[in-house]
Chain A
Amino acid sequence: MAPTRKNAIQAVRAFEPATYAKDVSGFMGMDIKDHQLSGVVANLAVAKKMALAVFSVDLDPNEFEMAPIFSPTDISPTPSHETQKPQPSE
Chain B
Amino acid sequence: MNAGEISATEVVAKTMTFIERRNPAVNAFTEVLQERARLRAESLDQRERGSKPLDLAGVPFAVKNLFDISGITTVAGSKINRANPPATQDALVIQRLEARGAILVGALNMGEYAYDFSGENVHDGPCRNPWALDRMAGGSSSGSGAAAAAGMVPLTLGTDTNGSIRVPSSLCGVFGLKPTFGRIPRTGVFPFSDSLDHVGPIARGLDDLALAYNGIQGYSATDHVCVDRPVENIEVSAGSDDRPVRVGLLGDFFDVEEMQAAKRALEIVASALGNSASSVTGCSLPLAEAARSAAFLITNVEGANFHRDRLLEDADAFDPDTRDRFIAGSLLPAAWYIQAQRVRALFAQQAASLFKDFDVLIAPATPTSAPNIGQRTMQLAGAEVNVRANLGIFTQPLSCIGLPVLSAPVNVESGLPIGIQVIAAPWREDLCFHVTRTLMRLGAVVERALPLDNP
A64 x B328 contact (CB < 8 A): no
Neighbouring B residues of A43 by C-beta, 8 Å: 300, 324-325, 327-329
Asked whether A82 is an interface residue with its Cβ less than 8 Å from the other chain, the reply is no
Of residues 340 through 395 on chain B, the ones whose CB sits less than 8 Å from some CB of chain A are 340-346, 348, 386, 389
Contact between A51 and B389 (Cβ–Cβ < 8 Å)? no
- B90 CB to closest chain A CB, in angstroms? 23
A30 to B316, CA, bound (A): 13
Contact A44 B331, CB 8 Å, known A36-B323, A54-B290, A54-B340: yes
A64 to B343, CA, bound (A): 10
Quote the shortest CB–CB distance from A83 to chain B (angstroms). Answer: 21
* Neighbour of A30 across the interface among B228, B311, B344, CB < 8 A: B311
8 A Cβ contacts from A29-75 to B: 29-30, 32-33, 36, 39-40, 42-44, 46-47, 49-57, 59, 64-71, 73-74
**B389 to A, closest residue via Cβ:** A46
B297 touches A51 (CB 8 A): yes
Q: How far is the CB of A31 from chain B (nearest CB, A)?
A: 9
A50 to B343 Cα, complex, angstroms: 12
Is there an interface contact between A71 and B225, defined as CB atoms closer than 8 Å?
A: yes
Residues 298-343 of B contacting A (Cβ, < 8 Å): 300, 311-312, 315-316, 320-321, 323-325, 327-332, 336, 338-343
User: Which residues of chain B from 222 to 245 have any CB-CB distance to chain A below 8 Å in the complex?
Assistant: 224-228
- Chain B residues with CB under 8 Å of A69's CB are 194-195, 341
Distance A24 CA – B334 CA, assembled complex (angstroms): 13
B312–A29 CB distance below 8 A: yes
Contacts of B346 in A (CB 8 A): 57, 59, 65
For chain B, give the interface size range. 35 or more
**CA of A21 to CA of B330, assembled, Å:** 11
Q: How far is the CB of A68 from chain B (nearest CB, A)?
A: 8
Closest B-chain residue to A72, C-beta based? B224
Does A28 count as interface, using CB distance less than 8 angstroms? yes
Are the C-beta atoms of A53 and B290 separated by less than 8 Å?
Answer: yes
B221 interface residue, CB < 8 Å from A?
Answer: yes
**Is B327 in contact with A65, judged by CB distance below 8 angstroms?**
no
Contact among A12, A24, A28, A59 with B342 in the assembled complex (CB-CB below 8 Å): A59
A77 to chain B, nearest CB (A): 12
Instruction: Give A36 to B358 CA distance when docked, in angstroms.
Output: 47
Partner of A56, one of B290, B300, B331: B290
- Tell me, rounded to whole Å, the shortest Cβ–Cβ distance linking B329 to chain A: 8
Query: Within the complex, what minimum Cβ distance (angstroms) separates B289 from chain A?
Result: 6
Shortest C-beta distance, B302 to chain A (Å), equals 9
Is B293 among interface residues, defined by CB-CB distance under 8 A? Answer: yes
Which partner residue on chain B sits nearest A37 by CB separation? B324
Instruction: Pick the contact of B225: A50, A65, A70 (CB < 8 A).
Output: A70
Interface-central residue, A25, A32, A44, A51, by most chain B CB under 10 Å: A51
**Residue of A at shortest CB range from B325?**
A43
Q: Are B289 and A53 in contact (CB under 8 A)?
A: yes
Interface residue? B147 (CB, 8 A): no
Question: Which among B195, B292, B294, B331 is the interface contact of A24 at CB below 8 angstroms?
Answer: B331
User: Which B residues are in CB contact (< 8 Å) with A53?
Assistant: 289-290, 292-293
| CB nearest to B181 among chain A residues | A68
A-B pairs with beta carbons under 8 Å apart, 7 shown: A25-B327, A44-B331, A47-B332, A57-B346, A67-B341, A70-B194, A71-B225
A21-B331, A40-B328, A47-B296 provided; 17 other pairs, C-beta below 8 A?
A25-B327, A25-B331, A29-B312, A39-B325, A44-B332, A46-B296, A54-B339, A54-B340, A56-B290, A57-B287, A59-B346, A65-B342, A66-B338, A66-B342, A67-B341, A71-B182, A73-B228
Closest 8 CB pairs of A and B: A39-B324, A74-B224, A43-B328, A53-B293, A50-B293, A67-B344, A69-B195, A66-B341
